Amino acid sequence: MVGPVIPAPIADWREQLRTANGPTPTNQARSLRLEPAEQHPIEDDLYFTNKWEQRVYRVLKAKQAALPDNQTIGIIPLAGMKLLGSTRWPDFLITYKGRAGVIEVDGPHHAGVRRASADHSRTNLLYSAGVEWVDRIDVRDVETAAEVERFIDI
């Protein structure tokens, strides 16, 4: 008679699973979580690449709080996303009423023709993957909450 062999359970398998990828399993900002915490802002248990992204997040969070419960937005910073041929981490994936959009906070390294071309290609990949809109905000336009609010209109 042949039957399946079930291995003996590992006593601490849950703890091993919990600690395998850091404090909690998540795709959110995985590359940032692997770096020292003092290098990147953290707010509401969410990771940000820099202070400019954190400023945008605070305005988005205020917009979210002002909406009725049945019309809330989802704010997903630095979510890992597999696109054709590569894995990307958009600065913000925003969901609202069955739609998805991306906000990119562009720093000085986005200047120049070569980077603009790469940004355009990435935007096209996002559109092809079903993201309805992609907007870019320059870090020079996020120095105050009022400047960010002009950009973000829900």
What average pLDDT does this structure show over 138-146? 74
Lowest mean pLDDT among 14-28, 75-89, 115-129: 14-28
Q: Residue 114: what pLDDT? A: 59
Q: Residue 77: what pLDDT? A: 92
Q: 48 near 78, Cβ under 8 Å?
A: yes
CA–CA separation, 127 vs 100, rounded Å? 10
> Which residue's structure tokens are 């720093």?
107
Q: Residue 127: what pLDDT? A: 87
Tell me, which fold does domain 21-151 have in CATH? Trna Endonuclease; Chain: A, domain 1 (3.40.1350)
**pLDDT, tens digit, 9 for 90 and up, residues 74-119:** 999 988 888 888 888 899 999 998 899 999 888 765 455 555 566 6
CA–CA separation, 93 vs 25, rounded Å? 19
